[in-house]
């Protein structure tokens, strides 16, 4: 998962994308990537972007099995449980936990 830099927009408005393919240069170093992003009306588009315009996001798979079996009504309960579990180890903001769950949902639904 990456944020795709867009020149005339604020960082909060950049598109979220999934790297589909890495493209190497003549020196065999990765120079660009094909990124799948959402277009108009949930239609997926593929963009070719240089690596310096892509910002990787940390996506955790630790709770993947839990989130796959969660339905919409159970999601709030799972958020509460995740928040409680995380408070015992490392404190995490509620917004960060919710953002992780939304990203996982998008990946699972192939929204991106």
Task: Judge whether 22 lies within some domain.
Answer: yes
Task: Judge whether 8 lies within some domain.
Answer: yes
Per the DSSP assignment, residues forming a β-bridge with 35 are: 19, 47
Q: Give 85 or 46, the one with higher predicted confidence.
A: 46
Are 51 and 63 contacting, i.e. CB atoms less than 8 angstroms apart?
Answer: no
Number of domains observed in the structure of the chain: 1
Mean pLDDT score of the chain: 78
pLDDT tens figures, 35-61: 998 877 667 888 999 999 999 887 766
Task: Judge whether 7 lies within some domain.
Answer: yes
Task: Judge whether 42 lies within some domain.
Answer: yes
Task: Judge whether 73 lies within some domain.
Answer: no
pLDDT at 105: 84
Task: Judge whether 62 lies within some domain.
Answer: no
Helix (H) or strand (E) holding 68: helix 64-68
Task: Judge whether 13 lies within some domain.
Answer: yes
Residue 20 pLDDT exceeds 80: yes
Q: Which domain holds residue 46?
A: 2-56
Residue 26 pLDDT exceeds 90: yes
SS3 call for 23: strand
52: CB partners within 8 A, 6+ apart: none
């Amino acid at each position: 998962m990456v944020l795709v830099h867009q020149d005339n927009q604020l960082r909060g408005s950049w598109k979220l994308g999934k790297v589909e393919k890495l493209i190497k240069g003549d020196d065999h170093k990765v120079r660009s990537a094909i990124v799948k992003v959402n277009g108009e009306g949930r239609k997926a588009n593929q963009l070719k972007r240089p690596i310096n315009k892509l910002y990787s996001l940390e996506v955790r798979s630790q709770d993947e099995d839990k989130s796959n079996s969660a339905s919409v009504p159970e999601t709030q309960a799972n958020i509460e449980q995740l928040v409680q579990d995380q408070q015992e180890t490392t404190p995490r903001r509620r917004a960060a936990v919710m953002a992780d769950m939304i990203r996982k949902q998008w990946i699972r639904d192939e929204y991106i």
